Amino acid sequence: MNKVLLFAWFLASSSFSVPGSFVIAWVQHHGLVHRSRGLLFATPPWSAQDGSGQYYSTRLVVSNVIPQEEVTTLLQLMELSTTDLALPNRQDVMSVNIPLPDLPPGVTGRAAILEVLVTTQEQSDMDDDLRLEKEEEWKAAIGHYIDEVAFQEYNPELPLRQPVLLSIVTTTTCSSEQQQEKKDYSEQLVSMIQTQIQDYGLVEAVDCHHEYHHNPDQKDPSINTTTIQPTLHYQVDGAWVVDDDDHDNNKSDVWDTSSILVFDNLLSQDNLRQRLLDVVLGRIVEDDSTTEAWDDVQHGPDPKRWQEGGLVDLPTTTTTNDDDDGSTTTVPTSYGLTEDALDEICADAPPPLPMQQVECILQQLFPNFIVTRLPEAVLGASVTPLTANAPSFGQSFDYHIDADPFFAPPSPWTDVYGRYANRARGKPRFVSCLFYLNDEWKVDEWGAPTQCLDVATETPIDIAPQSGRMLLMDQDITHSVVAPTSAAGARPRYSLVWKLILHPKQRQQDMRQSLCQPNWPDATRIGSANE
């Protein structure tokens, strides 16, 4: 093994993380890929023997939405990361059309299959467990380097604009029985993407992803979408952004703003606000007269249900506490639900009935989208799709955002949808939906608004926490909770948050305009939103 390949093996098999910039420099220096007769081939010979009488050959099948220059990058990264494949051999690259209309709107269609053909001298089958183990090992190694390059600043010397969903398929054949098998690679690529979406629950609509166990006398709530209107409607964070089409490389500059919508009286049916509060506080058993009520006006949040600094809701190992939605970049002291309480409010088999009814309302309120909870696959298990908070007097909070698909970490989500600006045409839109649940909240005396910020002009917008009010905002809006005043005493201001993704129902859907209904009032533009 020459020193170049020996070093590549060391990098791929070592336990430490290799910086993407180092990967780029090393690959460029050694020039592991060259062109031959219009095809792309890696430099080792066509086949390699591992000493056991087995020969390995490989073929790379890519969807046609991946540009040729990026295929070159993929080959370089595969060459760097899979030397334990007894040297990946000359890569036969096949680009196939992927039928995008067969896929859900918003997916990038960037998928690839690395076929590994193991040729033996005698008829034998590779052990299934060993095969799966090797496939996962190769996939992890290749995926690591793909993410190192795709998730850093774009480098024209090693172009890879977006992640790639990769599958590795191993087949074994006897050298005396080799034959060309016809395969529908387009169908395989589509199936890969659909399986990824299903396995990771990337598009599970809130109105059908769980089993409903309703009381026969309990009806789903309904709202009159022709008459309901937001009480407040703001736009902030105006900026010119580039809408970059995933598939046609069409780019256009568009004026983008983030939205804040406030609705009152959505929870008026069937005492829904009170029943949501009961779930949050753990009073979910009907006619439960045996449990002594905790006096939170005198004593603050119930320590059996809440713990100070208890809610860790960011995809990081750093302990954090949170605002209404549970995402901060610092560590202020706040009350979060215990782990058991979070499990209760996030249950989806089925969810508590009040949660089901709210989700039914949300789907009616936004009929132009498929409304889903934030999947675990986006930010990890530490970021729950529902969360609650109980800010109290004396606490302090910093500004933060909930999430931004443009900065999503490497994940099954980005493998399918890529990274993009929130509200981009035809791409899933990240929004947060917050409900204020206190029986009574004297806004003028007790304060505790949610404060949104137009960052460019540093203009704040206070949303008063009126009982039963719903605040919906884009997740990339900078915001903070303001703690209650001393006049509130020990009483906490309770809120419950849904972290949602609004999926387009059509390809290239206008995700900015389709949020609002025609009868809704025009937004008040704040600060930089005034074009």
Q: Tens of pLDDT along 41-88?
A: 333 333 444 555 566 678 889 999 999 999 989 988 888 876 555 444
Locate 159 and state its tokens. Answer: 């172009």
CB 371, CB 362: distance < 8 Å: yes
Locate 165 and state its tokens. Answer: 């969903």
Please identify, among 158, 177, 199, the residue that sits at the C-terminal boundary of a domain.
199
Judged against a pLDDT cut of 50, whether residue 109 lies above it is answered with yes
In eight-state DSSP terms, residue 175 is G
Give the pLDDT of residue 331: 42
Q: Quickly state the pLDDT bin for 91 (edges 50, 70, 90).
A: low
Residues near 139 by Cβ (< 8 Å), separated by ≥ 6? 166, 167, 168
Give the pLDDT of residue 26: 38
Same domain, 179 and 274: no
Q: Taking the C-alpha atoms of 160, 107, 233 and 242 in order, what is their torsion angle to the nearest 10 degrees? A: 30
Kindly state the average pLDDT of the residues 244-271: 84
Kindly state the average pLDDT of the residues 115-133: 70
With respect to residue 163, please indicate whether it lies within any of the assigned structural domains.
Answer: yes
With respect to residue 208, please indicate whether it lies within any of the assigned structural domains.
Answer: no
> Which residues are registered as beta bridge partners of 389?
336, 495
Same domain, 308 and 354: yes
- What is the per-residue pLDDT across 176-199, written as a single tens digit (0 to 9) for each? 455 555 678 999 999 999 999 999
CA distances (Å), origin 414, targets 23, 63, 80, 346, 427: 21, 16, 23, 23, 12
Q: Quickly state the pLDDT bin for 134 (edges 50, 70, 90).
A: confident
Q: Which helix (H) or strand (E) holds 364?
A: helix 353-365
- What is the per-residue pLDDT across 446-467, written as a single tens digit (0 to 9) for each? 999 999 999 999 999 999 999 9
Q: Quickly state the pLDDT bin for 364 (edges 50, 70, 90).
A: very high
Same domain, 320 and 429: yes
Q: Which helix (H) or strand (E) holds 255?
A: strand 251-263
> Which residues are registered as beta bridge partners of 80?
none
Q: Quickly state the pLDDT bin for 223 (edges 50, 70, 90).
A: confident
With respect to residue 23, please indicate whether it lies within any of the assigned structural domains.
Answer: yes
Give the pLDDT of residue 70: 93
Give the pLDDT of residue 202: 98
Of the candidates 431, 465, 433, 460, the one whose C-alpha atom is nearest the C-alpha of residue 447 is 465
Amino acid at 434: L
Judged against a pLDDT cut of 70, whether residue 471 lies above it is answered with yes
Same domain, 130 and 258: no
CB 195, CB 414: distance < 8 Å: no
> Which residues are registered as beta bridge partners of 124?
none
Compute how many other C-beta atoms are within 10 angstroms of the C-beta atom of residue 224: 7
With respect to residue 129, please indicate whether it lies within any of the assigned structural domains.
Answer: yes
CB 503, CB 428: distance < 8 Å: yes
Q: Taking the C-alpha atoms of 271, 277, 282 and 283 in order, what is their torsion angle to the nearest 10 degrees? A: -30
Among 38-42, 223-227, 286-290, 362-366, which is the least confidently predicted range?
A: 38-42
In eight-state DSSP terms, residue 46 is S
Q: Which helix (H) or strand (E) holds 92?
A: strand 92-96
Same domain, 312 and 190: no
Of the candidates 225, 121, 124, the one whose C-alpha atom is nearest the C-alpha of residue 172 is 124
| Separation between Cα atoms, residue 274 and residue 494, nearest integer Å | 12
Same domain, 49 and 172: yes
Same domain, 18 and 159: yes
Q: Quickly state the pLDDT bin for 29 (edges 50, 70, 90).
A: very low
Q: Quickly state the pLDDT bin for 89 (edges 50, 70, 90).
A: very low
In eight-state DSSP terms, residue 408 is P
Per the structure, the count of domains in the chain is 2
CA distances (Å), origin 61, targets 70, 163, 165, 461: 13, 16, 12, 51
Q: Quickly state the pLDDT bin for 308 (edges 50, 70, 90).
A: confident
Enter the pTM of the model: 0.84
Residues near 359 by Cβ (< 8 Å), separated by ≥ 6? 206, 207, 351, 371, 498
Same domain, 182 and 45: yes
Same domain, 192 and 271: no
CA distances (Å), origin 426, targets 176, 177, 246, 384, 524: 50, 48, 10, 25, 25
| Separation between Cα atoms, residue 180 and residue 358, nearest integer Å | 55
Judged against a pLDDT cut of 90, whether residue 237 lies above it is answered with yes
Same domain, 160 and 247: no
Kindly state the average pLDDT of the residues 150-169: 90
With respect to residue 206, please indicate whether it lies within any of the assigned structural domains.
Answer: no
In eight-state DSSP terms, residue 509 is -
- What is the per-residue pLDDT across 425-452, written as a single tens digit (0 to 9) for each? 999 999 999 999 999 999 999 999 999 9
Q: Which helix (H) or strand (E) holds 327?
A: none
* CB-count burial class (<10 Å; 0-12, 13-18, 19+) for 338: middle
Q: Quickly state the pLDDT bin for 222 (edges 50, 70, 90).
A: confident
For residue 468, the enclosing domain spans 232-283+301-529
Judged against a pLDDT cut of 90, whether residue 175 lies above it is answered with no
Please identify, among 176, 199, 222, the residue that sits at the C-terminal boundary of a domain.
199
Give the pLDDT of residue 435: 98
With respect to residue 291, please indicate whether it lies within any of the assigned structural domains.
Answer: no
CA distances (Å), origin 246, targets 67, 75, 275, 340, 425: 11, 21, 43, 41, 10
Same domain, 121 and 15: yes
Of the candidates 259, 361, 367, 380, the one whose C-alpha atom is nearest the C-alpha of residue 315 is 380
Give the pLDDT of residue 219: 63
Find the CATH number of the domain harbouring 407.
Answer: 2.60.120.620
Please identify, among 149, 183, 199, the residue that sits at the C-terminal boundary of a domain.
199
With respect to residue 179, please indicate whether it lies within any of the assigned structural domains.
Answer: yes
CB 236, CB 479: distance < 8 Å: no
Kindly state the average pLDDT of the residues 333-355: 88
Kindly state the average pLDDT of the residues 279-293: 68
Kindly state the average pLDDT of the residues 24-47: 35
Of the candidates 4, 134, 181, the one whose C-alpha atom is nearest the C-alpha of residue 76 is 4
With respect to residue 292, please indicate whether it lies within any of the assigned structural domains.
Answer: no
Same domain, 142 and 272: no
Query: Over the chain, what is the mean pLDDT?
Result: 81
Sign of CA dihedral 207, 213, 215, 216: positive
Residue pointed to by tokens 């859900």: 104
User: Is the backbone of residue 287 left (phi > 0), alpha (psi -120 to 50) or beta?
Assistant: left
Percent of the chain with pLDDT over 70: 74
347 or 195: which leads in pLDDT: 195
Of the candidates 285, 317, 475, 307, the one whose C-alpha atom is nearest the C-alpha of residue 389 is 307
